[in-house]
Structures are given as structure tokens and as C-alpha cells.
Amino acid sequence: MASAAERWVEDQERLARPARVAWCDGTEGEAWRLLEIGMNEERLNGPVFLKLNHKSWPTAYLHHSDPTDVARTEHLTFVCHSTREASGPNNNWMEPAKAKKKMAKLSEGCMRGRTMYVIPYMMGQPDSPYAKACLMVTDSTYVAVSMRIMTRIGTPILEKLRNREDFIKGFHSVGDLDPNHRYIMHFPQESLVWSVGSGYGGNALLGKKCVSLRIASYLGLRQGWLAEHMVIMGIEDHRGNVTYVTAALPSACGKTNLAMMESALPEYRVWTLGDDIAWLNIGPDGRLWAINPEAGYFGVAPGTSMKTNPNMMRTIRRGAFNPTLFTNVGLNTDTNEPWWEGLDGPVPENMLDWQGRPWTPGSGAKAAHPNSRFTASIINSPMLSPEHNNPQGVPISAIIFGARRTRLIPLVMESFNWAHGVFLGARMGSETTAAATGQVGVVRRDPMAMRPFCGYNFADYWRHYLNVGNRLTRPPGIFSVNWFRVDENGKFMWPGFGDNMRVLKWIVDRVNGRVPARETPAGLVPRIQDLDLGGLNISEDKMERLFAVNMKEWKGEVDDIRDSLKPYGGRLPAEIREQLLKLERQVR
């Protein structure tokens, strides 16, 4: 008798009517076969994969996406619970039956003449009690190759799927790539994702945002855990002690650089466990334990260099395990190498831009799309934590909420307690970036950096966060960071990058009870003398201004926070309302 997985795939085949069905086995031979297929497959503006210079960029390939399909499309992303209230004001909602009808219409015969790849995959180390078994179909060779970099795929996973019905299902088709026929639909109650019309990673690599955040956050609500948009890293001190922390930052705000930081403090080093998603479970010891459900990086290329992220440069040039893909970067036609703004070295003389058009520095536009990406296996990281495959994960001592704010928000701040920490997350705002379509550089409320990713009503999510805290006997500290505060000339006051270790060291010192803190109305900040600023040329005045909390200037901020919480009405947890009231009193 066919398994539930096989029956589900047959249903998708009947709907999409592909020319052939290929089950991915996850072997290395298959990877190279798929790349070969992609190199001979003409789509849009050229082949799906272009082989790059393998002497300087081993195993690297270039992919161009449709120019209208270069970022997540939040306005076309829906979370379809049975009621609008369950999805919340933070999500687009459609009645599930109506959404399915719409998607079925778009999917009917959509894979005609194409191959339907069937990808059994696992989010998390397959033997982890916290991992989730998933199955997706796609008609994109690019997605099939990317999924094997980003997740654990293949026949062994299929064996795990065979005897169960509770796997997470995903249907993906690039459709006709018409933005009017593009929808990324989620049905959390059925653990189903249905994405048509986009080949962009955040919309098409279903294991990432769709499954590991939107679907998983709802599973977490039901099962008592949290799925978060967070980096996981270990910070090793000179004694060899490793403190594990997670950090949530909105898209394209330097999360990947943080996760792979080369420390400016010689006695400290970072071990990377993940750069985008953390699943947080309450361990039997009352601590919070984190796993990274993913197995790869899907990072922003522009700005990545030996200066900003040397470890990522080493990772994407290593090519030891799995291919490395570049999407929508420029191409140096003399050397057949990828190029993007911010890459080390001179600007090449002969270039094609991200759409394959001749490009010169004088042409005004960027050679690489601002949201161009690399996809690379985490195994290739030189600083991969020895714990990355530990089925239990790592115990978390601090949760950090970070945002891009040019004004008001101090460099680092610790919450007074768990409820205040949840509020620090809930009131997060950040200046927008190119990772999603829309205006760049305006402050947008992005609670816990989860605004585009929470698969249910934020009010219920904050309540769940508070409940998780209540169940922890040894909860992590909660902190906020902001590397982006500017002076009166609009210049960043903090150097950022490897120097952020100075801030992380203070956080590690705090959670280990080694230093006191200074109280401000907004939270606890460091005494300047407790920060290790050795070797850093920064004036005392600047340091003071990095931590300035002048509540008189917070009036507009508090108004904005109040407005952002208003739509949640009576569903808002009392603890959050109390925190808001306190803040309102402070600016009066």
C-alpha cells in the first residue's frame, strides 16, 4: 500500500501534470546531475545555472531570477487560519477554502512539460527530538539544488516519512512568474505551504521562512516551544568557556555578519550554529535549548567582504561540501567570477550586471541587485560550532533583540525581567532594507524581527513568549542591541562588525553575574568602565551618546509603539499593556 507521502505526491502530480516526476535521493551524484540539467535548461534570460570560475570559486554557479522576482513579497504572502483573528493583524488572511480554490486554479497543469522534483527533507538534525520531517514538490531545478544546500534531504529522510502522516507538506511552482499570479499561502492547521509564481529563495525554498518560521511558529504554540528569526552563536572566552546566545534582527541588518563575526577582542571567539532561524525548546533542566533547523546560508551578497565577514568569504569560496550558488550578482566577464558592490579589490573592467546587461561603474545602477544572494552549506564554515549537529541543541544564556535605528535606541540594553524583555521584543522597530519589496529606510515595527514570519496572531505569540518564560527555571537574559546609531553628521557612532564583540562580552559578563549595570528608564545599560574598549579609538563623549536615554525624545517613539499595538485590542496580554503604560508615564 502506498504511504501517505506517496499518496500526497500522486495528488500533486494529478494537479500539476508534470512531464516527469523525480524523487531526490540526496546523493552527491544527484547534485552534479541537477547542476548539469540546470546549465542546459534555458529559462528567462539564460541558463538556470552558469558555471563560474572553479579555480577561484570552487563549485560556484550563477543564477539569474526574473527581474520582477528578487525579494520576498509580503503583500502576496498569506496565513490562512480558519478565522482572521487567529492569523492576526500581522498577517494577510484569506478564508482557507477560498485560498485553496484560488491556488488549485493557479496550480492546475502548471508543471506541464517540466519535471516535478520531490524533495523529502528534514528541518533539524534527523535524530533530534526537535526536528521536523517535511516533503515538498517543485518544478524548479534551482530550488531543488538550493534545498539540498539549505536542508538535510534525501532517501534516509524518506524512510522517516514513510510511516507517518504528520509531515509538513509544500507545493511549489514558479508558475508563469507573473506577479499577478504570485501567492505564498500557508495553512498552519494542516502544516501545508502552497507557493506559486516566485522562484525567489524566501518564497520558494519552503524549508526556510514558510516552514521553519510561519508553520513552525504555530506548531510551537501548540507544542510549547518557539520558532524564531534568530542567529545562534557560541562565544568562547579566554578560559575556554562557551556561552551560547541567540539574536533576532530584521532581514538584511547584519545577522549573518554577527553570527560569523571575527572578534576584535583577541581572547574571545565566535562559534557559529546558525545565521537565520532558531527553534527554542524548554529542556528538562529548565533552560532554553536552541537548534538551527537549517543546514545552509542564504545570505545577502552586497557588502560581504574580507573586511565585513571574512568567515563567510572563506565559506563561499571553499566549495568542499555541496555547490555554492550566487543569485543576481554581477559577473566579471574577463575572469568568469561573481562580483557585487562591497567585494574586496578593484571594480572589474568588464562586467555584466545582475540582469546580464553590460555594466560600467558610471552607469549609475548597481551591478549586483541589492538583495542578491549566495547559498552555501554551513558545513563549509571555518568556525562551525562542534555542537551544530547535537540533537539536543545548545543551552541559551541570552536572547538579543537587535534593530537598525539611527536614533534613540542605545547600543546595548538589558531588560529588567522576562516580561520587560518580551516587551523590548514586541516594541522593536527597524529601518527597512532591500530584503522585502517596498520602500527602504523607513522605521517599521518588527516585533522580535518576526513581523513577516509569525504564523499566527502576534497577541497570542507574545502571550506564548510570556508563558515560555514562566516555565523556564533558568531563563536567559533578554537584551536589545543597536549598532546603527548616528551622530549629528549622520555618521555611525559605533564601528560595528568585529567590535560588536565588545558588546557581546558585556552581555556574557552580565549573564554570568560578573558586572553590575546602570539603570535607565528604558532598561539596564553598561557602565562605560565595564566595556572592553582597548584598541578602539572612540571618544568618551561618543560612548556616552551611544547609551543616552532621554525620555523627552521618546514621545514620537512611544506614540508609534502604542499605534502598532492598538490593532491587537483586548487580545494583547496584560503584561504587555502594563509595560506600555509604564513607558507612556515616562514620556509624559
List of residues contacting ligand OXD (CB under 6 A): 72, 202, 251, 276, 298, 435
Burial of 515 (0-12, 13-18, 19+ CB in 10 A): middle
Q: What is the 8-class DSSP label of residue 528?
A: G
The nearest distance, CB 276 to ligand OXD, in angstroms, is 5
The nearest distance, CB 278 to ligand OXD, in angstroms, is 13
Angle between helices 458-471 and 216-223 (to 10 degrees): 50
The nearest distance, CB 551 to ligand OXD, in angstroms, is 32
DSSP string, 114-172: SEEEEEEEEES-TT-TT-EEEEEEES-HHHHHHHHHHSEESHHHHHHHHT-S-PEEEEE
Judge whether 531 and 499 are in contact, CB under 8 Å: no
**∠ CA(125), CA(128), CA(134), 5° rounding?**
65
The nearest distance, CB 252 to ligand OXD, in angstroms, is 7
* Nearer to Mn ion (CB atom), residue 294 or residue 353: 294
Burial of 314 (0-12, 13-18, 19+ CB in 10 A): middle
Tally of CA atoms within 13 A in the half-sphere of 562 that contains its CB: 14
CA distance 298 to 149: 9
* Nearer to Mn ion (CB atom), residue 119 or residue 450: 450
Q: Please identify the residue of the shown chain whose CB is closest to the bound Mn ion.
A: 276
Q: Which residues are catalytic?
A: 253
Closest CA to 323 of 519, 68, 32: 32
CA distance 394 to 379: 18
The nearest distance, CB 55 to Mn ion, in angstroms, is 32
* Nearer to ligand OXD (CB atom), residue 107 or residue 371: 371
Angle between helices 4-16 and 155-162 (to 10 degrees): 110
Q: Please identify the residue of the shown chain whose CB is closest to the bound ligand OXD.
A: 251
Q: Which DSSP helix (H) or strand (E) runs through 338?
A: strand 337-339
Q: What is the 8-class DSSP label of residue 384?
A: B
Phi/psi at 576 (5° precision): -70, -40
* Nearer to ligand OXD (CB atom), residue 202 or residue 393: 202
Q: What is the 8-class DSSP label of residue 436?
A: B
Beta carbons within 8 Å of 220's beta carbon, 6+ residues apart: 226, 227, 279, 464
The nearest distance, CB 463 to ligand OXD, in angstroms, is 24
Tell me the one-letter amino acid at 387: E
The nearest distance, CB 179 to ligand OXD, in angstroms, is 18
* Interacting partner of 202 out of Mn ion, ligand OXD, none (Cβ under 5 to 8 A depending on kind): ligand OXD
* Nearer to Mn ion (CB atom), residue 251 or residue 311: 251
* Interacting partner of 111 out of Mn ion, ligand OXD, none (Cβ under 5 to 8 A depending on kind): none
**Grid cell of 327 as nine digits:** 543569485
Which residues sit at the interface with Mn ion, rule CB under 5 A?
251, 276
* Nearer to ligand OXD (CB atom), residue 213 or residue 558: 213
Beta carbons within 8 Å of 553's beta carbon, 6+ residues apart: 407, 408
* Nearer to ligand OXD (CB atom), residue 167 or residue 298: 298
The nearest distance, CB 229 to ligand OXD, in angstroms, is 7
* Nearer to Mn ion (CB atom), residue 276 or residue 446: 276
Judge whether 174 and 198 are in contact, CB under 8 Å: yes
